[in-house]
Structure 1
Amino acid sequence: MKYIIIGLGNLGKALAKDLARIGNDVIGVDINIARVDAMKQLISGAVSLDTTDEEALRTLPFKDVDAIYVTFGKDFGVSVQTVALLKSIGADKLIVRATSPIHETVIRAIGVSEVITPEEDFASMYVSHMLMGALFKQWYKITETHHLYKIVPPEIFIGQSLQNINIEEKFDLRLVAVERLLEVKNVLGVKRPSYQVIDHFTDAFVIEKDDILLLFGQLKDIEKIAELVKK
């Protein structure tokens, strides 16, 4: 797939590198020539131009890409101008970073439907981490209210069947998958520990000590599991 990343600050740079690493064609854009030069060897192409200049923006192959990311963090005005120009010249798939509720309101009013809020997401992940303590492994935003939580099972779950734990009834959470540590042979026939995903369960399925649980639900419900550790 092909992408344009506009803004090669911390977020844009990381996004461009990750998309390129998994085989996508990525063009990076920034007015800062030093940022552009730093990315040239890592992605398909990088160009320095002023994205508030309509003629300069039209030189980008925006109709030939699957999505355009606008990732400016500090300059509200540049972000809004860039997005408005992209919409006016017919750019289709726009994914835009919002740095505040006002910023998000403005870019949605321009016609952008996909908005990313990394600062807000980090805050939510930090709150989840603080709440879960040693149980916490990872957090993934799904909607404004519901998320995926990857956790270590509390001790009270270990050795218990799903029927006994009754996660949905007691905690209003859905068990999506379990990562289980198993010994797997590599190509040389050597056994090595590796986490394998289990996503089909029966009521008799038993939680083991080294399992990692992937749970779907709300923060207020994951807090019920965190309370088990405090008792």
Structure 2
Amino acid sequence: MVRRTDSPVLVIGLGRFGSALARELTDLGQEIMALEKDRSIVQHFADAFTSIVQADSTDLAALEQVGADQFDTAVVGIGTSIENSVLTVANLVDLGVKNIWAKAITRSHGEILERIGANHVIYPEQEAGERTAHLLSGTMRNFTELSPDYALAIITVPAVLANRSVSELRLKERYGVTLVAYEADAEFLNISTDTKLPKGTNMLVAGPTDRVDEFAKRL
């Protein structure tokens, strides 16, 4: 994810991904400049962002004119044209932008972006699909991958685990996952070895992604 920085962030492309990102960064207090080629989209978001410009990011001179070379971090959210996405990233590299995040439509698109200089490649559609698959595959209420190999999941406590102490359940030994917390009165509470989980409440577990998946499927 794009973290809040002390310096402004350049967000290029205000489609669904780019506009959502720009709004979230703004809500977090991050200063941004939004850049979009389509005049109607710029007009639509004119009141949403304090700094928004209309420019063609595939045109190096246009990027220089709006001061893109003054940014340390840029996010390329262009998703309708692989060619425009690649040209934009190449231009940012030429301008010396140090930290470039770019949305990719396909794996091959992402590989090209990485080769020409994107520091971080994002696959929002694929990641959303994978997350949904995890949620559909078992008793998960929520699922977050902290890295490709490690995940957190909120799972509803089934009858087979209910009203038994954490020490008795031995989840780490039996399933390879760690019970981090459980939900009570709309908030998550710390776990002790004597904690007993009521049926139907939510528990937060962590572990290798494949172990978390397998644990949820067994319940």
TM over 0.5: yes
- The answer as to whether partners of 1:96 and 1:112 remain within 8 angstroms in 2 is yes
Assess if the C-alpha contact under 8 Å between 2:137 and 2:217 holds in 1.
Answer: no
**Equivalent residues of 2:156, 2:203 under 8 A apart:** yes
Q: Is the 8 A contact 1:69 1:94 kept in 2?
A: yes
Alignment of 1:123 onto 2:126: no
1:72-94 CA-partner distances (Å, limit 9, x unpaired): 11211101110011011111111
Question: Could you tell me which of 111, 114, 126 is aligned with 2:117?
Answer: 111
Gaps of 5+ in 1: 183-194
Query: 2:26, 2:76 → 1: CA distance?
Result: 17
Shift of 1:20: 1.1
1:61-210 pair list within 5 angstroms? 61-62=67-68, 65=71, 67-132=73-138, 135-178=139-182, 180-182=183-185, 195-198=186-189, 200-209=190-199
**Are 2:43 and 1:37 equivalent residues in the alignment?**
yes
Structure 1 SS opposite 2:34: strand
Structure 1 pair 123–45 and aligned structure 2 pair: CA distance change class (3 A): same
Correspondence for 1:49 among 41, 55, 73:
55
The offset of 1:37, in angstroms, is: 1.3
Does the residue aligned with 1:208 lie in a helix, a strand or coil?
A: coil
Q: How far apart, CA to CA, are the structure 1 residues paired with 2:12 and 2:188?
A: 36
SS of equivalent residue, structure 1 residue 156: coil
Instruction: Report what 1:212 is aligned to.
Output: 202
- What letter matches 1:175 in structure 2? L
CA contact (8 A) 1:5 1:12 kept: yes
**Structure 1 residue 204, shift from structure 2 partner:** 1.5
CA distance in 2, matches of 1:170, 1:76: 46
Distance 1:222 1:123 in 2: 17
Give a deviation string over 1:141-193, Cα, whole Å, max 9, x none: 22223222222222222222211111211111123333x233xxxxxxxxxxx
Deviation of residue 215 (structure 1)? Answer: 2.1
- What is the rounded CA distance, in whole Å, between the counterparts of 2:52 and 2:200 in structure 1? 44
SS at match of 1:96: strand
Q: How many pairs align?
A: 213
Q: Does the 8 Å contact 1:176/1:215 carry over to 2? A: yes
Shift in alpha-carbon separation, 1:4–1:210, aligned structure 2, 3 A: farther
**1:55 shift after superposition:** 1.1
TM-score of the two chains, using structure 2 as the length reference: 0.87
Alignment match, 1:187: none
Over the aligned positions, Cα root-mean-square deviation in angstroms equals 2.0
**Gap regions ≥5 residues in structure 2:** none
Per the TM alignment, residue 212 of structure 1 is displaced from its structure 2 partner at its CA by 2.4
